[in-house]
Amino acid sequence: MNDTGSAFLQQLERQSREKQAAFMQNIANRLGRASILTEKPEHPYKGAPQFWREYELDQERRIALFQENWTKAGGHTCRLADMEAVKQLIQTKARELQARLIIQQNQPELSAFGLQDGLPECDVVVWHPHDRDALLTTSAGADIGIAVVDHAIAHTGTILVTSSPETGRSVSLLPTAFIAIIPVERLHTRLGEVLTHFDGRKRESFPAGIHFISGPSRSADIENDLTIGVHGPGVVFALLVG
């Protein structure tokens, strides 16, 4: 590059920096500052304030708040005494929805149900870490997916499910309807309480995915027209147990 070209580039860079400085100075003036900050400001507080970290509801209020928020998001919820009542409700909902294909997570609580025996008209498939492509197809065609959740959050009406080779995310994401089983001892007041369960974990012990679900799938991407069930189940049940 000749001297003329180099001088021209230097002039452009100088003009660009002057415009940048003028732009930043205008922001500083509007904020009532005499000059542009050249060092990042101190942040004495990190994370949620102390009063929020101490905020806690008793179990009955957590349950009531979760049910209220879950329902506002378009989900269905009820409280049941024990897992036997959960089993009976699942069978009832399966018949009401005329389900022909159910996929459930590979979890001992669900295996104990023996749903196939109680629903001979349904094909009940259990997720397993083998033949993943076939299971994805099964999940996409399933009428109902069933899983016991890892955690739930009352303040946002949210459930959290993790995924791994043994617990596929497709069970909660692809079927037409999803039934989430929430033991009440896994229901927390705040999101921060749940996130602490994952703090400091080593990479090899971290879940393949952490999925937050607040009601049925909804999207307004196209012309702001709200549509239910585009990116996931359109019908979701949260069954609080205990």
Q: What is the pLDDT of residues 195-228, one digit of tens each?
A: 988 888 888 888 989 999 998 877 766 677 767 6
Residue 223 falls within a domain, yes or no? yes
pLDDT exceeds 80 at position 181: yes
For residue 154, what is the domain's CATH number? 3.40.50.10420
Q: What pLDDT band is residue 2 in, cutting at 50, 70 and 90?
A: low
Residues 6+ apart with CB under 8 A from 127: 103, 104, 105, 106, 135, 139, 166, 167, 168, 170, 171
Q: Name the pTM for this structure.
A: 0.79
- Examine residue 216 and state whether it is found in any structural domain, yes or no: yes
Round to whole Å and give the CA distance between 176 and 200: 36
Does residue 41 belong to any structural domain of this protein?
no
How much is the pLDDT for 216?
84
pLDDT of residue 1: 57
Residue with tokens 């205990």: 242
Better-predicted residue by pLDDT, 24 or 87: 87
- Radius of gyration of the chain from its Cα atoms, rounded to whole angstroms: 26
CA distance linking residue 13 with residue 232, whole number of Å: 50
User: What pLDDT does 230 receive?
Assistant: 67
The answer as to whether 185 is a domain residue is yes
Query: Which strand ranges, in their side-by-side order, compose the sheet holding 158-163?
Result: 187-188, 151-153, 158-163, 209-213
Q: Which of 1-5, 108-112, 157-161, 185-189 has the lowest mean pLDDT?
A: 1-5
Range of the domain at 111: 58-241
